[in-house]
Amino acid sequence: MEVVKLNNISRFFSLGNSQVNALKNVNLSVNKGEFLVLKGSSGSGKSTLLNIIGAMDEASTGEVEIAGKPLNKLSDAKKSKIRQKHIGFIFQSFNLLPVLTALENVQYPLSLQGDKNSKNKAIKALAQVGLADFIHHRPNQLSGGQMQRVAIARALVTQPDIILADEPTANLDSVTAKSIMELMKQLNQQGITFIFATHHEFVLTQASRIIELKDGQIMHDKQKAAA
């Protein structure tokens, strides 16, 4: 089953009189269960691509489908609904709300959906990422790896089909980064599709598919046999 389909996507940014072509004619189809890594040097278009897949940004031309639903003609409100239902995000800098506890951070996306069972679901998600004993800690009382685990729990708690991760291990030491990758691989084996941007070489060994971007275009698209 196809969870993401990009049909001839381009994204242009205007900077004064000049134009940056962040993505050029990108075609991509991602199936459920993939562990897909986007690689490419800084400025190659990885974040732009993730933001478009996550309906955080809009393509200048071309079409995007998420879980079979075309996004192009939808209102912002409808797009938010699709994002909340199908997509979780993990960021390089974790993006936790500093005044909220781990539990409250993880409850947050469920509260947006008016879920009355948010507390129990958040406790479960935090246990799933190994933080059962830290649910009342605030971000400044947690290590980097623990903060990223909270962010993973927050991405996970809405049971998304797809988790998008933009350099999720870039701010972590290598041992912690490996443990975070192992956690994501476990979640992938439970059925969540992952699309990552990363520089870390060890992530490439875990990938089921590696796509290399250069100057906004797909240079290589390599499927690997199941690991």
Q: Where do contacts with ligand ADP occur on this chain (CB under 6 A)? A: 13, 15, 20, 22, 40, 42-48, 197
Q: Give SS3 for 143.
A: coil
Name which of residues 19 to 58 contact Mg ion (CB under 5 A): 46-47
Cα 61–chain centre separation: 22
Residue 44 pairs in a beta bridge with: none
Residue 13 pairs in a beta bridge with: 20
What CA–CA distance (Å, rounded) separates 76 from 58? Answer: 11
| Maximal C-alpha separation, the chain | 54
Nearer to ligand ADP, 24 or 138 (CB): 24
- The site partner of 88 among ligand ADP, Mg ion, none (C-beta below 5 to 8 Å per kind) is none
- The site partner of 13 among Mg ion, ligand ADP, none (C-beta below 5 to 8 Å per kind) is ligand ADP
Nearer to ligand ADP, 40 or 168 (CB): 40
What CA–CA distance (Å, rounded) separates 192 from 13? Answer: 32
x-or-dash string of contact with Mg ion, 57-96, rule CB under 5 A: ----------------------------------------
Nearer to ligand ADP, 38 or 87 (CB): 38
Q: Is the dihedral of CA 64, 157, 77, 45 positive or negative?
A: negative
- The site partner of 36 among ligand ADP, Mg ion, none (C-beta below 5 to 8 Å per kind) is none
What CA–CA distance (Å, rounded) separates 28 from 177? Answer: 27
Q: Least distance (Å) from ligand ADP to the CB of residue 217?
A: 11
